[in-house]
Structure 1
Amino acid sequence: MRFRAVDSFRGMAAIMVILFHLQHLDLLSGNAFIAKSDIFVDFFFVLSGFVMTHSNFNKLTYLTSLKPFIIKRFKRLYPLHLFTLVLVLLFELFRFGVDRYVVALSNPVFADDKTLVSFLANLTLTQSLGLFDRVTWNGPSWSISVEFYTYIVWALGLIIFRKNLLLLSIISFSLLAWFIVRHNGSIIYNYDYGFIRCLYSFLIGMLTYRLSQQVPTGFRAWQQTAAELLLLGITILAVSSFSHAESWMMPLLFAAVILVFSREAGTISTWLAGERFAFLGKLSYSYYLNHTVVLAVLDLLLFKLIKLPHTTAGELFFVFICLVCIHVMSVFTYRYVELILQSASPARTSSPATQPGTTSDSSLIRFMP
């Protein structure tokens, strides 16, 4: 089964994260929706829980099923993470050369977020388990760190409780509710409590998938379209206006979006499920992990070295070049980096028209701002 519409949503959410990291530009500053688009990381976590439940819930029954599941997830997540980590290291070495021999840079080279210890932590995907007081190296990779360990905890939970979903949910959400209350409703964490943030949204995604199997499907197309339009409007309004104290509710809203759009029964979801948007979901992981290094390189080259003016036209040109370069680089990394450890399968050997949007676990990734 394919969830093509929500897969396209994942790609659009990745683009919003890119724009979030460009909001320092006068062109984009002051836009409330862009300013809070980092919350879309929770959309990725909820979607991850939804699809992982679809593809693995019935497989994780005994301890012997844990090892192949972890290995499969590691092979899917790690190659691109390692590739972008090395790119950030090379770029920092390049900055060192520029700072020393060309022009003094305002931001220090190999600052506190780029130390040897944090580099080693990134190699082991432990950089966001409360070991440091900031995000390190390739910032968005914090979510890859916490999601990988969320996979392990989730799988262990299913095995230990033998799929007693009610008991697992009661225990998990009781602990998570205690954490949320203690932190005044906020789940906006990354390097410190990012694991808890991910687990919360992931479990909501799991329950959303289970709910989707119980909700009747006999709605008319116009009813589905109306629900899709309503949810899109609420999402735009909520993302633009939510506060940290209300952030715990955002994964619930994203769950509703995924529940409705995964049916692909309305006009908007049918449109998003088409092949014209398939590349968004296919390249979303690369968009997410590639974008900060591309933005940093182009900022140095265009604004610092070439002296591109910070006019409306100059910044518009910068944004356009950034998006084009991120897309081109993502096409490359999707083809030659992301799937390098994946075994050959029909999904990979089929024509491009049948590849995008599949929900096999080899196609799933997450992001973050």
Structure 2
Amino acid sequence: MRFHTLDGMRGIAALVVLVFHIVQQRTLAALPFAGLAVDFFYVLSGFVVAHSYEARLAGGALSLRAFAQLRFVRLYPLAFLGILLGTMLAALAAAVKGSVSPADVATAALFAFLLLPSFVFPQWPTAYPFNPAAWSLTFEALANVLFACIARWLSNAVLIAILLAGGAALAWLAYANAGISGGHEQATVLLGVPRVIFPFFAGVLLRRLPAAPGSGVLAGGGLMLVLLAVLLAPIGWGAGSSLACVVVLFPLLVWLGIANRPGPRLERAFAVIGALSYPLYITQAAVLRLGLEVVRRYSLSPAQFALFAVAEAACALALAWFAMRWFDAPVQQILRRRDQPRTAPTGARGAFA
């Protein structure tokens, strides 16, 4: 079963992340809620992974090894490409600028390809210097492994206990940091753990809840507008509001989106932006890094920056489409033939599909 509205919401969230990163080239203070798109992805991920795999994991029809292969084939090829592009740019910068050594680039690349945080460059805050978006995949993988390991024993009571503990940890994170953030920088990398547990397992819970009342095209458009309004809000409302988004609003939007049935035209549009969401999310860093060099070297007026931002976004979208069509699809086909179990479902990429 394809959840078309969830595809559209996932695509909208990925576009918000792109806009957020482009705007950050000009100012770090804008769009304070846009980073919560990752937390929305985690709710989606929990639902989609539970929908696709929970019954077979719980019944023993799908082994942990087979589950790991499925997730690897779905997520890693594009992550590899994004990290490879970032590594190549870093190596070029090391050769031209000489600010870092080739040995450090190689060491950091090793951690990057393993989806592990790197502390090789203390002069830069990021723990994922060659592809900053990869940080969320690290914690997505952690949540996937935890879910697969406990699926056989994940009763409703156990799930509620995890959500209560995860919610408490998320509340501590929100109020200790004046909002929900962390996981991507060296100083805050461990905060990715409390950040992923609640939203991911909230998505698992949504798979078990009764379906929401069915809704049509207008309701689906309303869900998109609500998500956009929250993520693109120009001001932040404090720790409590960000916590309410992740604990209440995002699960509610996903629950309503599960039951929404858009019309044929919207289904096609949602399918397109949904398919592009993960490639766009995980490969945009290379384009953004080149764009940041331009912004740093030239004093662009607001109008010039707006035009440059549109061009930058177009390049990121073009790269995402190329990566999806000419890299991910053939690589996945090869990997499926060699390694993927024949019982694998299609169309389940978790947070980023």
TM-score by length of 1: 0.77
Q: Which of the residues 56, 59, 70 maps onto 1:59?
A: 56
Q: After alignment, is 38-47 or 238-247 more displaced? A: 238-247
Shift of 1:23: 2.0
Correspondence for 2:244: 249
Contact 1:264 1:273 in 2 (8 A): no
Correspondence for 1:323: 313
Shift of 1:296: 1.0
Contact 2:11 2:276 in 1 (8 A): yes
Q: Taking structure 1 as reference, are residues 72 and 99 closer, same or farther at Cα in structure 2, changes over 3 Å only?
A: same
Correspondence for 1:136: 128
Contact 1:17 1:288 in 2 (8 A): yes
| Aligned: 1:337 with 2:327 | yes
1: CA distance, partners of 2:97 / 2:239: 38
How is 1:234-273 mapped onto 2 (pairs within 5 angstroms)? 236-237=229-230, 240=233, 241-251=236-246, 252-265=248-261, 269-270=262-263, 273=266
Q: Taking structure 1 as reference, are residues 187 and 220 closer, same or farther at Cα in structure 2, changes over 3 Å only?
A: closer
Contact 1:188 1:244 in 2 (8 A): no
Correspondence for 2:79: 81
Give deviations 1:15-73, integer Å, cap 9, x for gaps.
Answer: 111111122455x7765xx3320110011111111111111121112286221111110
* 1:96 aligned partner, one-letter code: A
Correspondence for 1:11: 11
Q: Which runs of 5+ in 2 are unaligned?
A: 184-188, 336-344
Contact 1:147 1:195 in 2 (8 A): no
* 1:78 aligned partner, one-letter code: Y
Q: % of aligned pairs identical?
A: 23
TM-score by length of 2: 0.80
The DSSP-based 3-state class of the residue aligned with 2:300 is coil
Contact 1:77 1:365 in 2 (8 A): no
* 2:283 aligned partner, one-letter code: N
Shift of 1:120: 2.5
Correspondence for 2:341: none
Q: Taking structure 1 as reference, are residues 128 and 5 closer, same or farther at Cα in structure 2, changes over 3 Å only?
A: farther
Contact 1:50 1:208 in 2 (8 A): yes
2: CA distance, partners of 1:294 / 1:201: 29
Shift of 1:110: 6.5
Q: Taking structure 1 as reference, are residues 145 and 156 closer, same or farther at Cα in structure 2, changes over 3 Å only?
A: same
* 1:136 aligned partner, one-letter code: Y
Contact 1:50 1:202 in 2 (8 A): yes
Contact 2:86 2:286 in 1 (8 A): yes
How is 1:1-369 mapped onto 2 (pairs within 5 angstroms)? 1-24=1-24, 31=30, 34-61=31-58, 62=60, 65-99=63-97, 109=100, 116-127=106-117, 134-137=126-129, 138-159=131-152, 161=153, 163-164=154-155, 166-183=156-173, 185=175, 186-190=179-183, 191-211=189-209, 214-215=210-211, 217=213, 221=216, 225=218, 229=222, 232-233=225-226, 236-237=229-230, 240=233, 241-251=236-246, 252-265=248-261, 269-270=262-263, 273-300=266-293, 302-303=294-295, 307=298, 309-343=299-333, 360-366=346-352
Shift of 1:182: 3.7
Give deviations 1:95-146, integer Å, cap 9, x for gaps.
Answer: 234436xxxxxxx5579xx7554433222223289xx974222111000111
